[in-house]
Chains A and B, each alone.
Chain A
Amino acid sequence: MRDATTTRTRREFLATAVSGAVALAVVGPTIANAAPEQVAAEIKKLFGDKKLIDGKIKLDLPSIAENGLVVPLNFEVESPMTEKDYVKAVHFFAEGNPAPGIANYFFTPMSPKAAAQIRIRLAQTQNIVAVAEMSNGEIYTAKKEVKVTIGGCGG
């Protein structure tokens, strides 16, 4: 009796595992992921050939995300946030998601800090790229790799 139960559980487990694998195999190839080149193209669309300077952006993401469906992203861009000198926009891109865009934040001198915390979905291990546009036209950038254990897309 006990044996039978164990066997069935094992069989069910295997069946689930196999169907899961099949589902993945079917879905997998149809997802065309954004590539680093696509992210670069998006940035070029926004800023042309302007020089990207490393720095000023504190991009806080976990190094390892167990669940790609909910990955906390925390950022802050160094700026006095005054009428004369403020952060106009901060753009976020994913190099390994089906689409490169994550979010675009637009700040005003009314914002005391160019900072926010959000939750994002990541399909796989990849780099997250942040690009900040300052009111004086300077463009800053930061990049962080997140290792994803379970992807957060499709399924």
Chain B
Amino acid sequence: MTTKPTPRVRMPATAKAGEVVEVKTLISHEMESGQRKDKDGKLIPRKIIKQFVAKFDGKEILRADWHGAISANPYQSFFVRVPASGTFTFEWLDDDGSVYAAEQKVTVG
């Protein structure tokens, strides 16, 4: 059941200064909603990724709070601006306190 969540991020590694690029992210996670019951009729406790944060060189671009209605293996795409060469970081925060992280260096050339 529990596979280790693996984040995947797809975005260009090079861009023009100030260019707006699309970021596509995917993370494997069952997103147990807390609504389902097991074979004995007991409620399976909620275990989802409750928050996602995207940053550029440590500055927050966007943050998302997720609830039980987010599908398993949450996919997300959004837009960022590349002000200069730097590093984008992406973090997913699990209900159990784990943080799954990914980063992407982008070079402005």
A interface residues, Cβ below 8 angstroms from B: 26-27, 31, 69-71, 94, 97-99, 101-108, 110-113, 115-122, 152-155
Contact = CB atoms under 8 A, between A and B. Distances in A.
A106 B66 CA distance: 11
B69 A110 contact: no
A111 B70 contact: no
B63 A106 contact: yes
30 contacts: A69-B72, A71-B71, A94-B69, A99-B67, A99-B68, A99-B69, A101-B68, A102-B67, A102-B69, A102-B70, A103-B65, A103-B67, A105-B62, A106-B65, A108-B61, A110-B80, A112-B79, A113-B20, A115-B78, A115-B79, A116-B62, A116-B64, A117-B78, A118-B70, A118-B76, A119-B71, A120-B70, A121-B69, A121-B70, A153-B33
A4 B75 CA distance: 47
Given A118-B74, A154-B36, A105 B64 contact: yes
Interface residues of B, number: 29
A116 B22 CA distance: 10
Contacts, number: 100
A99 to B, nearest CB: 6
Contacts of A115: 78-79
Interface of B: 20, 33, 35-37, 41, 56, 59-72, 74-81
Nearest to B77: A117
A116 B36 contact: no
A94 B69 CA distance: 8
B33 A70 contact: no
A110 B59 contact: yes
A144 B84 CA distance: 38
A106 B69 contact: no
B79 A98 contact: no
A118 B49 CA distance: 14
Contacts of A27: 37
